[in-house]
Amino acid sequence: MSQSTLAVMVLIMTSYCKGEVFTSSEKIMELATRERALLDALQTHINAEYDNLKALSGFLAERSKVVRVTTDKQHALTAEHPNGAFHLIKLYTRDWQNVAVANPIFNKNIAHLKQNLPTNDDFQGACTALVRLQRVYKLDVQDMYAGNYAGYQGPPLDPEDTFEVGRQAFMDGYLNESVQWLELAVRALKEEDDRLGSSRYHRARRGQAYGLLGRAYYFLNNTERAHETHKLGIEVDSQAGDLIQLQKELDEARPTSVYGQVDDEWSEDMSQLCSRDKTHRV
Give the span between the Cα atoms of 37 and 6, in whole angstroms: 27
pLDDT confidence of residue 121: 96
**pTM, entire model:** 0.75
Does residue 57 lie within any of the structural domains?
no
Q: Are 242 and 272 in contact (CB under 8 A)?
A: no
In a domain, 136, yes or no: no
DSSP percent split of the chain into helix, strand, coil, nearest 5? 80, 0, 20
Phi and psi, residue 55, nearest 5°: -65, -40
Contact 152, 182 (CB under 8 A): no
What is the per-residue pLDDT for 261? 33
- Tell whether 197 is covered by a domain: yes
Give backbone dihedrals phi and psi of 185, rounded to 5 degrees, phi first: -60, -45
| CB contact at 8 A, 142 and 176 | no
pLDDT at 170: 98
Query: Do the bridges between strand 152-153 and strand 148-149 make them parallel or antiparallel, or are there none, so unpaired?
Result: antiparallel
Helix (H, G, I), strand (E, B) or coil at 33: helix
pLDDT of residue 169: 98
226-251 b/e with 16+ CB inside 10 Å = b?
bbebbebbbebbeebebbebbbebee
**246 domain residue, yes or no:** yes
**Residue 93 forms part of a structural domain:** no
Q: What is the mean pLDDT of each run of 10 residues along the chain (282 residues)?
A: 53 49 67 83 91 93 93 89 96 94 92 92 97 98 97 96 98 97 96 85 92 97 96 95 96 55 37 45 58
Residue 4, pLDDT score:
56
Answer yes or no: are the C-beta atoms of 220 and 179 closer than 8 Å. Answer: yes
Helix (H, G, I), strand (E, B) or coil at 271: helix
Q: Please report the sign of the dihedral spanned by the C-alpha atoms of residue 236, residue 239, residue 244, residue 247.
A: positive
The domain tally of the chain equals: 1
141 part of a folded domain: no
Domain span at 236 = 158-282
**Is 88 within the bounds of a domain?**
no
* Strand stretches in the chain, DSSP E: 148-149, 152-153
The one-character DSSP state at 157 is P
Does some domain include residue 134? no
